[in-house]
Amino acid sequence: MALFKFSFLLLFLLVYNCNRDKEPNFVYDFQGIYFYASPDLSSKIIKRIPFASVVIVKEIREDGWHKLTSNGINGYSFSPNIKNTLPELFLYVDSLDGLIIYEKPSEKSKILDTLVHKSRLKILEIDQTEGKNKKLSWALVEGANQIGYARLDYLSNEPKSYFFSIVKPKGQLLRSKPGNNSPILASLPMNLIGEILEKSAELESISNKKGYWFRTDYKGKMGWIFSSYTVTSEDRKYLEDRDYIRNEEWFMRYMDSVNKVEPYYFTEKELNNSKKDVFEQGNFEIFYIRYSYADDDCTVSNISKIVFRNKITNLSYSIQGLYSEDLIALDKPFPNTIYTRYESCHCCCPDTGNLLYFILEDSIVYIHYKAQNLQANCLYGPIEGVELERENRFSSKGETIFMNLRLPICEWDPNPEKIEIKPVGFAHNLFAVLRKEKNKILVEKFYDKGVPDIYKDEWENALPNYEVSGKFK
């Protein structure tokens, strides 16, 4: 009897493990995933497995590689985006400019319709034709009683909201239609924050101010305002911060904690028809790539990129979602650092900034960091927010960066033409210290304490801000 129970248990475990190997997973990456011949990004690519395809997990390795099979094809994929539920085949228009639906997967084909942002589309098929940058560009979609092709670049998993804040002292008029002569529905006060439901297609000029018309809802009235005296953002809280809510979180945007650069699927085929510079720092090769696209081409996802490749593991790393990232300086302020300037989007309100990378032994980390010392400014009109007063110093001996930031107090000027105004004082101070210790980057922050006593001597003896001008600027 005992032998029978043992045999039955053994049979159950064998059947369970066998069935578990056949549990289906689905590809969640809209660009699909690559099957490699071996767990190495430099090995041969067997095939791209499309979005929503069924894959079976055969093995999960400790280094992040998965051994998979799909329709009889076996291969390896590094940390694939797969789940055991069928993905929702619906996407949303995330471009404020709307989305054009074409008859064929080409911008030269007939235009069938233009859909406003947040429109919900059913994805019928994703075209598997690769673009020059090895990305899939088109999907066959159904929406608003129309079936046609749309670019994947302007679609997202969740509906994306855009907001405005009125910065004109006299407020803005809400009109029934786009146009300065259409009936007035209401007067919207300065500092009002609202959601942009639609954006007009054509740029207009009113009273020497260029802008678009935004459709919005105000106290149950649906109408249009002119964009010239508004600030826009995807982040409502950012617009709320423009009212100068004084808290430490406001400063965190300017001195982030350390972020780790994520893995990136990189092959040197990506360098075809592009300019590149290659450098070595520590265990990494750095590729500075400039693609051969026109600067005013809004259809491409990026025109320049920084890619790091580990010479030992052959794994690559890069920040995704940036339209451009340009190399400014190497080894400044310390060895094994890289200073860059990025632009996160194009043909829209640009989000720009600077990154400082640290090349560690086996990884790449970065912070958002402006090297230049800056005077404080209050910025109004179509220009967003405030400019912090910033003084940077560094110590090459201890590989330490000191940042002394001050948040200005701004008062509105009655002259609506002025967009840069000197502050009347300062509300808050943030003193930050970034120090490299062995294979780590440590950050300390002191809120409203001035220069803390424990760092006064180091601050006084630190060097002034370094120049970032050089070969790549």
Please return the burial class of 283, using the count of CB atoms within 10 Å of its CB with bins 0-12, 13-18 and 19+.
Answer: middle
Which residue has tokens 């297609």? 201
DSSP string, 280-293: EETTEEEEEEEES-
Complete domains list, the chain, with CATH: 2-83 (2.30.30.40), 90-156 (2.30.30.40), 163-243 (2.30.30.40), 259-464 (no CATH)
**Of all helices (H) and strands (E), which one includes residue 404?**
strand 400-409
pLDDT at residue number 418: 66
| Average pLDDT per 10 consecutive residues for the chain, totaling 473 residues | 43 41 80 89 87 90 91 92 84 85 91 88 83 74 88 83 83 92 92 89 78 91 89 75 44 63 82 86 92 60 85 88 86 89 67 86 88 80 67 84 84 67 80 86 82 89 69 46
Residues 6+ apart with CB under 8 A from 451: 404, 431, 459
Looking at the DSSP bridge assignments, the partners of residue 337 are 358
pTM tops 0.75: no
pLDDT at residue number 296: 55
CA distance 341 to 319: 13
Residues 6+ apart with CB under 8 A from 268: none
Q: Are 347 and 298 in contact (CB under 8 A)?
A: yes
Residue 122: helix, strand or coil by DSSP?
strand
Q: What's the full length of the chain, in residues?
A: 473
- What sign for the dihedral angle of Cα 426, 418, 249, 258? negative
